[in-house]
Chains A and B, each alone.
Chain A
Amino acid sequence: MSALLEVDDLRVTFGGTAAVRGISLTVEKGETHCLVGESGCGKSVTSLAVMGLLAKGGKREAARLSFAGDDIRYYDEKQMSRLRGDRMAMIFQEPMTSLNPAYTVGSQMTEVLRRHRGTPRAQAVDRAVELLTRVGITAPGLRLGQFPHQLSGGLRQRVMIAMALMCDPELLIADEPTTALDVTVQAQILRLLAELQKDLGLGILLITHDLGIVARVADRVSVMYAGEVVESAPTAELFRAPRHPYTRGLLSCVPVPGKVKRDEPLGSIPGVVPRIPPGFIGCAFRDRCSFAEAACAGPLPRRNVGPAHEMLCILPEGAGA
C-alpha cells in the first residue's frame, strides 16, 4: 500500500536561493505528520510546492511526488486545480492570500463546492453553515454575508479552515492553522481535526512552530532546518530522545507555563538561518552548532538512530546527550 502523500527528494529554488533541498516525507491515511523548524527553513515552500502553488520564479524538482498513488509531478494546471480544494485541501499561513476581499465569505465557500461537485446553491449554503458551526462560529448565516475584512483575524482563520473542509478532502495541508487563535479555540479546532481524521481517515500535514501542538497531535514529527529534514521520528520518541543538536536547541527554548521567569532571558539558538546557495555542501547548522567540527563541512550521512528515527548529522549515536 502506498502512502496518501509521498514526497521524495523535493527541491525548490528561487533564483540564487535554494529554499528546499531534498526533502522526503510521507503522510499516511489517518496520520498527522508535523513539520517544524525555524522561520524561513522552507516549510511553507514545501507545502506550496506539493500543491503546485509556488510563486513566480520558484523551480520545483522531485524524484517522486505522489498523491493517493498518482504521480502528480507532471500534472498540468487544470489537473492540479481539480485536486486542490477537493481531494487535497490547504489552509494557508496568511488567511488573506486565499480569501478574496471582493467576495463575501458565503460566495467563496459555496463556490468551492459548486466548482468541484456542481452542488446546487442551497445545498452548498447548508454545507457552509454546518462547517462554520463546527469550527465554532456563531451566527454562521450572518458571517456568510460578510466580507473578509469585516472579520477578526481569528474568525478569518476559522473561515479558512471551514472552507478547506467543504469537499471532505483526503489530505489536508495546514500551514500554521491555529496561530491566530486563542488557546480555547485552538483546542477546539485541533479536536475537530482529530475527529475528522477518525471518521474520514483524513491525512494531515501540519506545519507549526508550536511544539506544544506537535507533542499533543502529531503521530510523526520532521524537524526542518535550512531546507532539509534534519531529524524525523515518531512523536514520543522525538520528545523523549531528541538527537540532532538543532532539535535539542529548539526544545530548550520553549517557554513552558509555570516554569518561565519574568525578565530572565529565554533560552534561544544564537544566529539566524543562513541563506543557502545552490550547490551548498555539509551541515547548514554548523555556524550555530556547539558540536561543529571539520567533518561537518563535508557530505553528511542520513542515519537511523532509533526505531523509525533518523537524523542528518555526523555525531555518533548518543553523543552530546
Chain B
Amino acid sequence: MSTPAIEVRGLRREFRASQGLFAPPRRVVAVDDVSFSVPAGSVLGVVGESGCGKTTLARMILGLLEPSGGEVLVDGKRLEGMDRRARARLIQPVFQDPFSSLNPRRRVRDIIAMPLVAQGNVTTSEIDRRVAESLERVGLSTEQGTRFPSQLSGGQRQRVAIARALVLRPRIVVCDEPTSALDVSVQAQILNLLAELRRDLGLTYLFISHNLAVVEHVASEVAVMYLGRIVEKRESEALFRDPRHPYTRALLDSVLTPEPGLGVPDVGLGDIMPDPANIPSGCRFHPRCPACFAPCAATTPRITSLEDGLVECHLAG
C-alpha cells in the first residue's frame, strides 16, 4: 500500500465561546473523533450543513489550527513540528471567502508570488515566470495581475486564490468552497482545470462544497459530515446512487435542479438547526431524522462498514 496523501486519526477540535461575564463559556465540539485517509491522486469530497465542522477540519489538515486531540499525517509525515516552508510545498489551501483571504493592499501578482517569496531561495526572474504561468492558468490577464483585489469581481478574486495555491506546485490542495462564488461557466472552467491539474500533476484534493452536483463531478469518494462527525463516507458513485444515511438522503433531496415550476422542496428536517454546543443524545441526528426509531434517542449508532464505505446509523447495522 502506498502512503495516503492525507491521514487523520481520532481528530478532534473544541472551541470555547464566551457568553458574557457571568455565564460559563460554551463548549463547542466542532470536529468530534474523525478518522479517514485519502489515497494519493484521489479526491475526497466533504459535504454537510453549515457549521458542521468542514472548515475546522480543513484548517487542521492544513496545519493552520491546532487539534484538541488526534493527529494529522500529510504524505505520511506528522504535521506537528513540520517546517512551515516544507509544509507549504506539500499542501496549499484555497478558501471559501476570496474577499477576506486576499490582502487588500497588495497587487494581485504580489499576492500570487507570496508563497514563493516565503520560500526564500527563489530568484526574481523565476518568481515572475511562475506568477505569469499561474495567472494564465487560471484565466487572468497580465493587466489584471497589476490590480488590487478590490478592483476585481468576486469570481476573479477566487481565481487569484487558486493561482496562489498553485504557484508552489503542491501535492495536495485543500479547497474550501472554491467555486461557490463563481457562475456556472467559470465554475466549469475551474473544475475542468482542477481535474486537468490532478491528472497531469497527480494532485490530491480535499474538496469541500455544498454543491452536490459539483462534488459528484469531482470526487472519487464523499464524506458527509453532521455536527462534527462523518456520518457516511462512500465511493462517490455509490453515495449518489444509493445514499444510506437519512441525512445524506435529505441533502440529495434538497438539491435544486434547474427545472422551473417545481418550487423549493421541504425535505422534512424541520426549521430548527442543530446546536453544536448541545449535541443530542444517542444519534446526534435523531431530533431531525425522518426515519428516527426506538433506539435512536438513547443509543449512539456504531460505524457500519459497507463494501464501498461506511455509515453511522442504526438502520445500517
Contact = CB atoms under 8 A, between A and B. Distances in A.
Interface of A: 14, 36-40, 44, 55, 93-94, 96-97, 134, 136-139, 142, 145-146, 150, 152-155, 157-158, 176, 179-188, 190-191, 194, 209-217, 235-236, 239-240, 249-251, 253-258, 260-263, 265-269, 272, 275
A182 B191 CA distance: 19
Contacts, number: 212
A209 B19 contact: no
18 contacts: A39-B153, A93-B181, A94-B97, A136-B271, A138-B273, A154-B49, A183-B251, A184-B254, A209-B184, A212-B255, A212-B257, A239-B260, A240-B260, A253-B187, A255-B213, A257-B240, A258-B240, A261-B217
Contacts of B186: 38-39, 272
Closest 8 CB pairs of A and B: A39-B155, A154-B50, A212-B256, A209-B183, A268-B188, A40-B153, A183-B254, A266-B188
Given A191-B264, A216-B256, A216-B263, A139 B217 contact: no
Contacts of B191: 255, 266
A33 B50 CA distance: 27
Nearest to B191: A266
B57 to A, nearest CB: 12
A138 B260 contact: no
A212 B177 CA distance: 18
Given A180-B180, A262-B236, A185 B99 contact: no
A266 B217 contact: yes
B264 A152 contact: no
A249 B151 CA distance: 27
Interface in B144-175: 150-156
B218 A182 contact: no
Contacts of B150: 55
Contacts of B264: 187, 190-191, 194, 216-217
Contacts of A14: 151
B79 interface: no
A152 B56 CA distance: 9
A183 B260 CA distance: 17
Given A93-B154, A96-B97, A211-B184, A139 B258 contact: no
Contact of A145 (B19, B180, B192, B240): B19
Interface of B: 17-20, 26, 47-51, 55, 96-97, 99-100, 139, 143, 150-156, 177, 180-189, 191-192, 195, 210-214, 216-220, 236-237, 240, 250-252, 254-267, 269, 271-275, 277-278
A146 B17 contact: yes
A97 B97 CA distance: 12
A38 B192 CA distance: 17
A234 B220 CA distance: 38
A237 to B, nearest CB: 9
Contacts of B258: 211-212, 214-215, 239, 251, 254, 256
A180 B50 contact: yes
Nearest to A175: B154
Contact of A184 (B236, B257, B262, B269): B269
Contacts of A215: 256-262
Contacts of A268: 185, 188-189, 192
Nearest to B154: A93
Contacts of B19: 142, 145
Contact of A260 (B213, B262, B278): B213
Contact of B155 (A40, A150, A183, A185): A40
Contacts of B177: 153, 180
B96 A153 contact: yes
A260 B97 contact: no
B188 A262 contact: no
A211 B257 CA distance: 8
A254 B151 CA distance: 27
Contacts of A188: 271
Given A153-B50, A184-B49, A216-B256, 18 more contacts: A39-B154, A39-B181, A44-B154, A94-B99, A138-B273, A142-B17, A153-B177, A154-B49, A194-B264, A210-B184, A211-B184, A211-B258, A215-B258, A250-B184, A255-B184, A262-B220, A263-B195, A268-B185
